[in-house]
Structure 1
Amino acid sequence: MSEKVDLRIGDREMLHNQVCSVLRRAILKGDFKPGERLVQSELAEQIGVSRMPIREALRTLETDGLVTLEPHKGAVVRSLKKEDIKEIYELRSVLEPLALKKGMGYFSNWDLKTLQSHHEAMKQAKSGEEYVEWNVSFHQLLFSRCQSPRLLSFIESISRGFAQDTPQLIPGQIQKSNKEHESILKAILDDETEKAGEYLKQHIKRTGEELLESLEKRNFI
């Protein structure tokens, strides 16, 4: 395992998604190389948690397609395929705008105010980690009022992983996202359903394209 990697994010007890996020970013940044074995005890010591959240996080990363859990060997970093990432973002760019348009009519005043407060919180975020938390909540609320359980299930199955960590992987992503979020939010507040869906679609497509470019520059794909 690479000695250069510093994964510690604090001595406090961490939530499952925080551990996943730390490991996911390290893999996507190239700190761990394809084919490298991830040792649970070493990761636990580096991050500052017990082995249990590491074990659970590695299972999630296997679902994300970032690691393979091999018998008698443990977790091994997988090679990513460009086609896989392209497919994820193509699907997201169709399904999430569809869910937003289906759910916009069910937004309450509280929902609208919450979207606005999340947007402001992202603009004022003091760290990438803080931004990611607000970004995830903002995007989840965008389609949360959709009344189609199957559609929401499809979105949940493909939206984990890359999506929430792109602000820390793409140069300038936070500034670009804030501007795009503002357009999406304005369209929602103006009750312009088609515009809101189109702005969200372009936001997702642009992010996917720049994520691919970023990973290619790191020779990760």
Structure 2
Amino acid sequence: MENFRLSDQDRATLQFKVTTKLRELILKGEFKMGERLTQEEWAKNLGVSRMPIREALRQLEVEGLVRIEPRRGAIVTPISAEDVEEIYQLRALLEGQAVLKSLPFLDDEDINELERLYEKMIALKEDEKDMEEYMELNAQFHHILREGCPWRRIKGFIDTLWKGIPSYTPSVLSHHLKEAHEEHRLMVEYAKQKNGEKLKEVTENHILRTRDNLLKMIEKSEKIDVE
């Protein structure tokens, strides 16, 4: 396996960098199902202490990418193509409906905040350095879009789905940010126009496009593993 050590510059946002690196390696198929990740080994590989490795593994357990077992440590449980299909299909169905129901309750302040978040996202560079901020802004953007929905159960279901891989997808699909920027621009525009059907449509397409890109990445990693 290649050298994955983090540079001194990376340590400025150490916790995020460690988690991002391990997540990326898992999603790209660097580990086999059931492979054990030890804190000592990965602290050495990345040139960090065990603490950020421990915290990263806890976060990856929340995302469903590892399973922490007593006396065995973290066991890799890569997200499968079927997992991606399920998560993103559900997100598209639920979030599309949520933004449709939410739009009548969004006021000018909400719309202005959506525009502000969009402007901040497009101003960021498409590199790992800015990904942490981008992911936070992206999560806030989508939260505002659905926050006005009066159906509390659907919002609860969506929040549960966001606790896994969706929050961190931009970190492994950063080369697709231009597509996301255009979709976010359209979301802001349709929100301004109070066009609920168009907002629902672009939100669903945005989520399903992300699904398709993740599936392509998983398929590619599986082919490399077979070869």
Asked if these proteins are the same fold (TM beyond 0.5), I'd say: yes
Question: Does residue 1:176 correspond to 2:176, yes or no?
Answer: no
1:14–1:104 CA distance, 2 compared to 1 (3 A): farther
Q: What amino acid does structure 2 have at the position aligned with 1:70?
A: E
Q: 2:190 aligns with which of 170, 173, 187?
A: 187
Q: In structure 2, what is the Cα distance between the partners aligned to 1:179 and 1:108?
A: 23
Worse-matched range after superposition: 198-207 or 55-64: 55-64
Do the aligned residues in 1 keep the contact of 2:81 with 2:218 (CA within 8 Å)?
no
The unaligned stretches of length 5 or more in structure 2 are: none
Question: Does residue 1:141 correspond to 2:140, yes or no?
Answer: no
Q: Which residue of 2 aligns with 1:36?
A: 35
Question: Does residue 1:105 correspond to 2:108, yes or no?
Answer: no
Q: In structure 2, what is the Cα distance between the partners aligned to 1:136 and 1:218?
A: 27
Q: In structure 2, what is the Cα distance between the partners aligned to 1:79 and 1:210?
A: 16
Q: Secondary structure at the match of 2:68?
A: strand
Deviation at 1:122, TM superposition (A): 1.4
Do the aligned residues in 2 keep the contact of 1:90 with 1:205 (CA within 8 Å)?
yes
User: How many aligned positions are there?
Assistant: 218
Deviation at 1:152, TM superposition (A): 1.6
Q: In structure 2, what is the Cα distance between the partners aligned to 1:121 and 1:136?
A: 13
Q: In structure 2, what is the Cα distance between the partners aligned to 1:57 and 1:88?
A: 22
Q: Which residue of 2 aligns with 1:125?
A: 124
Deviation at 1:7, TM superposition (A): 4.7
Q: In structure 2, what is the Cα distance between the partners aligned to 1:125 and 1:63?
A: 27
Do the aligned residues in 1 keep the contact of 2:27 with 2:79 (CA within 8 Å)?
no
Deviations 1:154-212 (A, max 9, x none): 11111233323333323741011111111111111100011101110011011101110
Q: Which residue of 2 aligns with 1:11?
A: 11
Q: What amino acid does structure 2 have at the position aligned with 1:96?
A: E
Q: Which residue of 1 aligns with 2:204?
A: 201
Deviations 1:14-54 (A, max 9, x none): 66x66544432232133444332222244456374652x54
Deviations 1:74-96 (A, max 9, x none): 00111432211100000000111
Q: In structure 2, what is the Cα distance between the partners aligned to 1:47 and 1:3?
A: 14
Deviations 1:61-114 (A, max 9, x none): 223221122221100111432211100000000111122122212212221111
Q: In structure 2, what is the Cα distance between the partners aligned to 1:144 and 1:117?
A: 17
Worse-matched range after superposition: 158-167 or 68-77: 158-167
Q: CA RMSD in A?
A: 2.7
Q: What amino acid does structure 1 have at the position aligned with 2:62?
A: T
Q: Secondary structure at the match of 1:11?
A: helix
TM-score, with normalisation over the residues of structure 1? Answer: 0.84
Q: In structure 2, what is the Cα distance between the partners aligned to 1:50 and 1:161?
A: 23
Q: What amino acid does structure 2 have at the position aligned with 1:187?
A: Y
The unaligned stretches of length 5 or more in structure 1 are: none
Do the aligned residues in 2 keep the contact of 1:166 with 1:173 (CA within 8 Å)?
no
Q: In structure 1, what is the Cα distance between the partners aligned to 2:109 and 2:124?
A: 22
Q: Secondary structure at the match of 2:150?
A: coil
Where is the helix percentage greater, Structure 1 or Structure 2?
2
TM-score, with normalisation over the residues of structure 2? Answer: 0.82
